[in-house]
Every structure is written in structure tokens, then in C-alpha cells.
């Protein structure tokens, strides 16, 4: 397990103090662990202690005197490769309103592109921000730093915007992180180095190679990819499991190297764990951080009781999406090895991808449902389960009743990752199964059918999920699959198009436009303007053009 840095421990203390002072209304704990220190940590600590000991100061006065504003350790980047309307930009989007919308999305990169200030490189111990060597593109809003899996969709959008140099820069930052830590942390903050996020570096490198055919870029990425692959395939992520015929397989789970409250959400995690015994709290904190590694924080996918965060058991689950991402990574590394003339690696990685596909078919595929399903290593709903999350030398035995049969888009992500190639007999079953799943709603694909109040559940329609499912169905080369891909794309682009144009009263107008078909609470907040949504909007435009050429309608 990893430990807090001294700065993180101190800022978590500030976070707790801020909660006491400000109360929990609109309280964002992340603000406090993002504070850059103006002076050294020892002198800042001293000032803080004297503030409380003597009770002669104000909390806000302390913050102003000793801390800079969150996010002030980054500067806007000057995007030297940006052009207002680059040559060849979305040549297939001719409808003027749609083109105007796409150009607005394109111009939003200005808001999200930053560079790390020199002082962070000089005094890294005064910042939780990791000093990345190249300019960065952040998701936006309260996410002022690079995020691992967000970067993939950001890169897809940057490539549509012909920002090739920026795209390379942000992927090189990920390589830098992999080479420095042996894996890519959740985000570029020291407090995110206790876990990773869904592994999409190889696919980001592939996207850039696809556009530029630059083999030297692939060569640069190769060592980082090997490191990252090793991270996901070793303990504690690796899981041994015997299938129904007694054949042993190796699959992968999410597993955070952490069993304390997440520093960026410490006050929230402590609240969730309230009332538990000390050892139960440590285990819950571990499963919470592990859910953050999955990118799905939080979701009924990870809970024994789907509505109770206290029952999270994330690292006892073999997730479909993670294993599909790893098949994709193994195939990509094999292809890169081929390009680089490394035939031993090529053979080795194709073999790994093939073994993992076999394992996914044996353990995660559910023939009756026509979907891949997450697999619970422990019996779900087993209160006080005796299983030890720190035991690695275990070989599990497959039990069909341990499949999670709830509907999630992640069950269909193998289509995007090359696990189910065109022509595979599973494709028709997966298309039918998706159509019956209830996941497709007027505004796009919902994250689940369960209304738990968690952000990775019904009815939120997250950009990356739309993208992976749409591209997955498009890749099937099946007529029905391609039609489905176009339909989902149209629904989700309209969601964002309408929402974006109606800024100001965006939410109400959006709901009215959709004749109340969309969730009653206005849950489908269009996400245009957020890093990954920008990337997804632009790349869907590029793939499908604009399907709703005329007028947006409600029927």
C-alpha cells in the first residue's frame, strides 16, 4: 500500500478544518488538496498550528497568506498548432448549424489547454500537482489536472481538430508518468498515485499512429507500454480462476494500493465509513479507491447491495471492460512490435491477447443473455464475507451464479476492443441483447437501469460510454450493428447540440424540447464543453457526419 506524502497529510488536515469552518453545504473537499503552498511545508504547518493554538487568526486569512488558489499552478497554453478552421476540418459536416456547433467545440480546446508553471518544477514539494513536461489538456470544471482515461477521448478530439502536436504532447505526458511510476496514475496529482484508471494508453498511441503514420512515436511509446502492461498483469491486479472444465485462466481486476480515505474526498469517504469497525473501514476505503481506478466512481456494479455504498467490494470483481481493454492493449502492443520489427514481442503479445480472449469467453461470456458479464469472485450479498482482499495466492473456481446479470454498457465494450471480431457468431446475439437491454434512451445510452443516485448509474449518459458502444457496433461490419451505431450517435449528438445552443437556461429548455421523454429531474445534462465530451462530439461528427440534417424533433 502507498502512504500519504507529508503535503497530502497536511492538506487533508486543512480540508477537515475547512469543513468545520464552512459547513458541508456545497463543500468540495478536492479544493483543499489542490492548494499550492506559497512557502515551504514546515513554515506553513507552523503558521497553521499557531492559528489554531492561539485561536487568533481566521481560517480564510491563513489560506490567503499561505496558499495560492487551486489551479493557479497551471497557465493557459498558447496552442501553437491551433487554427480557427483547419484545412479539411470535418469535411463531411456541411449543414451550417451543425458546422457552427462543431467549430464551437473545436474552439473550446483553448479553455482546456494549460501548461505547468515553472515553480511547480522548481518546488514540487509545495504542490500536489505532478510537474508534467509537456502542455496538458484537462477535463475542465473541478478537474484542473490531467486524467488518464479522459486523455484518450481528448486525444481523439484533438486529432479531429488537427492539433497533432498537442495530441502527441499529451500522450507523451502519459508515457512520462508510466516511465516514472511504472503505471499511469488516475490523474496527475500525487494523491492519485495510489491507483490507475482504465488503461487506454495503447489506444491513444494507436489513434496518433493512425493519423500520422509516425513510427518513431510508436518507438518512443513502446517501453512505457511494456511497463504499463506489466502493472496490470502482476499482483495485485492478476487473478487466477478455474473454469467449469477445470482449466485455469488469468484475468485482471481493478485494485487500488490504498486503504485510507481518498485524499481528494477524505471527508466524504469518512462519512461513508461512519459506524464501521477500524478493519472494516480500511477495507471499505480500499474498495472505494478501487472503484475510482475503474473510472466508474461510483456505481451499483461494485456494490453487494446495489444501493448501499458501504457494501462496495470492487476488488472482488472481474470487470468485463478492464479485461477487454487489456485484450486491446495486447493486440496493439503486438501490432506496434511488428511495426518496430520486434517479432518476439509480436508473437508473445498476440498469444497473451488470445489467452485473455479465451479466458473472457470461459468466465465472462453468458450465452443465454448474449452479453459478457462482470464476475463476482465472492458470493454477492454475503454479509461479513470472510474473503481477504489482501490474499493473492488464491485460485478461484467459476460458479455461473456469480455473474452480475444487471444491464451495463460495459458488457458490450468487448465489441470496441477487438474481442469479438467481425463475423463472430456472438455479434448478432449481442446486438439483439443490447436492443432488449433497455439501456438505449432518447438521449443516448444510460449507464445502468438502476437509479441509485450514483453518477455511474441511471440515467447518466457519459460520453466515453456512448463512444465505445457506438464505435463497437460500427466495427461489427454488421448492417444492423452499423444502423444501431448511427442511431445512438444521432441521439447523443442531439442531446449535446440542443443543450449547448440553449446555454443559460440550457437544462429546462433541453427537457422541454424532448417533450418530457428524458428523466424528470433533467438528469441528462448535456456535457459539451467537458474535455472527453468535446472529443467524443468531434469524433462522432467525423465518423457519421450529422445525421439530423433538418430539424430536431420529439417524435
Provide the mask over 277-296, with x wherever binding to ligand LLGJG24Q is found by CB under 6 A and - wherever it is not.
---------------x--x-
Provide the mask over 114-153, with x wherever binding to ligand LLGJG24Q is found by CB under 6 A and - wherever it is not.
-------------------------x---x---x-xx---
Alpha-carbon distance values, 158 to 109, 268, 532, 537 (Å): 8, 35, 10, 11
164 interacts with ligand LLGJG24Q by CB under 6 A: no
194 interacts with ligand LLGJG24Q by CB under 6 A: no
513 interacts with ligand LLGJG24Q by CB under 6 A: no
203 CB neighbour count, 10 Å cutoff = 18
Write the CB contacts of 461 (distance below 8 Å, at least 6 apart in sequence): 441, 443, 444, 445, 446, 447, 492, 495, 524
Is 93 or 289 the residue whose CB approaches ligand LLGJG24Q more closely? 289
Choosing from 126, 151, 161, 265, the residue that interacts with ligand LLGJG24Q (CB under 6 A) is 265
Tell me which long-range contacts 21-24 makes (C-beta under 8 A, separation of at least 24): 21/59, 24/267
| CB-count exposure of residue 394 (10 Å: 0-12, 13-18, 19+) | exposed
CB of 241 to ligand LLGJG24Q, least distance (A): 27
Query: String of b and e for 59-86 (b: at least 16 CB within 10 Å)?
Result: beebbeebbbebbebbeebebeebeeee
Mode of pairing for the β-strands spanning 365-366 and 395-397: unpaired
- Minimal CA–CA distance to 150: which of 194, 208, 200? 200
297 interacts with ligand LLGJG24Q by CB under 6 A: yes
Is 256 or 337 the residue whose CB approaches ligand LLGJG24Q more closely? 256
> What count of residues does the chain have?
555
Query: Within 182-236, where are the H helices?
Result: 201-212, 215-233
30 interacts with ligand LLGJG24Q by CB under 6 A: yes
Write the CB contacts of 94 (distance below 8 Å, at least 6 apart in sequence): 545
Scanning residues 300 to 329, which ones bind ligand LLGJG24Q (CB under 6 A)?
none
CB of 454 to ligand LLGJG24Q, least distance (A): 10
CB of 231 to ligand LLGJG24Q, least distance (A): 17
CB of 185 to ligand LLGJG24Q, least distance (A): 10
Among the listed ranges 35-43, 125-133, 262-270, 546-554, the one in contact with ligand LLGJG24Q (CB under 6 A) is 262-270
CB of 30 to ligand LLGJG24Q, least distance (A): 5
Query: String of b and e for 354-382 (b: at least 16 CB within 10 Å)?
Result: eebbebbbbbbbbeebbbbbbbbbbebee
Which are the catalytic amino acids?
297, 508
Q: Containing H/E element for 395?
A: strand 395-397
398 interacts with ligand LLGJG24Q by CB under 6 A: no
Is 354 or 451 the residue whose CB approaches ligand LLGJG24Q more closely? 451
Phi and psi at residue 117, to the nearest 5° = -65, 150
Q: Whose CB is nearest to ligand LLGJG24Q?
A: 292
Is 249 or 262 the residue whose CB approaches ligand LLGJG24Q more closely? 262
Q: Which residues bind ligand LLGJG24Q (CB under 6 A)?
A: 30, 139, 143, 147, 149-150, 186-187, 262, 264-265, 292, 295, 297
Amino acid at each position: 500500500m502507498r502512504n500519504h506524502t507529508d503535503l497530502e497529510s497536511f492538506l487533508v488536515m486543512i480540508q477537515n478544518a475547512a469543513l468545520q469552518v464552512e459547513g458541508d453545504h456545497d463543500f468540495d473537499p478536492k479544493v483543499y488538496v489542490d492548494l499550492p503552498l506559497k512557502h515551504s511545508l514546515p513554515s506553513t504547518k507552523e503558521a497553521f498550528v499557531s492559528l489554531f493554538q492561539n485561536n487568533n487568526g481566521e481560517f480564510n486569512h491563513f489560506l490567503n497568506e499561505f496558499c495560492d488558489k487551486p489551479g493557479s499552478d497551471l497557465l493557459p497554453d498558447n496552442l501553437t498548432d491551433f487554427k480557427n478552421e483547419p484545412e479539411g476540418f470535418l469535411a463531411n459536416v456541411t449543414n451550417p448549424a451543425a458546422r457552427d456547433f462543431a467549430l464551437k467545440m473545436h474552439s473550446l480546446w483553448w479553455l482546456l489547454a494549460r501548461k505547468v508553471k515553472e515553480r511547480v518544477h522548481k518546488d514540487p514539494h509545495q504542490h500536489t500537482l505532478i510537474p508534467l513536461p509537456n502542455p496538458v489538456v484537462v477535463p475542465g470544471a473541478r478537474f484542473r489536472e490531467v486524467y488518464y482515461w479522459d486523455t484518450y477521448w481528448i486525444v481523439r478530439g484533438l486529432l479531429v481538430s488537427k492539433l497533432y502536436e498537442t495530441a502527441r504532447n499529451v500522450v507523451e505526458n502519459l508515457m512520462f508518468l508510466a516511465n516514472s511510476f511504472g503505471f499511469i496514475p488516475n490523474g496527475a496529482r500525487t494523491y492519485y498515485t495510489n491507483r490507475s484508471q482504465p488503461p487506454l494508453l495503447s489506444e491513444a498511441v494507436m489513434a496518433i499512429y493512425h493519423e500520422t503514420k509516425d513510427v518513431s512515436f510508436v518507438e518512443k511509446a513502446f517501453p512505457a507500454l511494456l511497463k504499463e502492461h506489466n502493472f496490470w498483469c502482476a499482483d495485485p491486479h492478476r487473478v487466477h480462476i478455474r473454469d467449469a472444465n477445470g482449466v485455469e485462466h488469468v484475468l485482471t481486476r481493478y485494485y487500488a494500493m490504498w486503504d485510507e480515505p481518498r485524499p481528494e474526498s477524505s471527508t466524504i469517504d469518512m462519512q461513508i465509513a461512519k459506524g464501521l469497525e477500524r478493519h472494516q473501514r480500511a477495507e471499505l476505503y480500499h474498495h472505494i479507491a478501487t472503484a475510482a481506478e475503474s473510472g466508474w466512481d461510483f456505481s451499483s456494479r461494485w456494490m453487494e447491495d446495489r444501493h448501499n455504498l458501504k457494501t462496495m467490494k470492487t476488488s472482488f470483481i472481474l470487470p468485463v471492460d478492464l479485461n477487454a481493454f487489456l485484450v486491446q492493449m495486447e493486440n496493439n502492443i503486438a501490432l506496434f512490435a511488428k511495426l518496430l520489427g520486434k517479432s518476439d514481442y509480436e508473437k508473445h503479445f498476440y498469444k497473451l491477447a488470445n489467452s485473455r480472449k479465451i479466458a473472457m469467453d470461459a468466465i465472462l461470456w453468458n450465452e443465454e443473455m448474449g452479453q459478457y458479464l462482470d464476475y463476482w469472485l465472492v458470493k454477492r450479498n454475503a454479509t461479513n464475507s470472510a474473503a481477504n482482499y489482501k490474499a493473492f495466492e488464491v485460485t478461484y473456481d467459476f460458479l455461473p451464479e456469480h455473474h452480475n446479470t444487471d444491464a451495463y454498457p460495459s458488457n458490450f465494450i468487448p465489441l470496441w476492443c477487438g474481442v469479438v471480431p467481425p463475423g463472430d457468431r456472438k455479434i448478432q446475439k449481442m446486438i439483439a441483447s443490447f436492443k432488449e437491454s433497455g439501456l438505449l434512451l432518447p438521449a443516448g445510452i444510460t449507464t445502468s437501469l438502476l437509479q441509485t443516485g450514483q453518477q455511474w448509474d441511471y440515467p447518466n449518459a457519459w460520453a466515453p460510454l456512448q463512444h465505445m458502444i457506438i464505435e463497437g457496433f460500427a466495427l461489427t461490419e454488421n448492417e444492423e450493428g452499423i444502423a444501431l451505431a448511427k442511431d445512438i450517435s444521432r441521439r447523443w449528438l442531439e442531446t449535446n447540440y440542443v443543450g449547448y445552443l440553449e446555454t443559460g437556461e440550457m437544462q429546462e429548455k433541453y427537457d422541454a424540447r424532448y417533450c418530457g421523454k428524458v428523466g424528470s429531474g433533467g438528469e441528462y445534462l448535456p456535457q459539451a464543453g467537458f474535455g472527453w465530451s468535446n472529443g467524443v462530439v468531434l469524433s462522432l461528427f467525423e465518423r457519421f457526419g450529422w445525421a439530423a440534417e433538418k430539424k430536431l424533433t420529439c417524435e
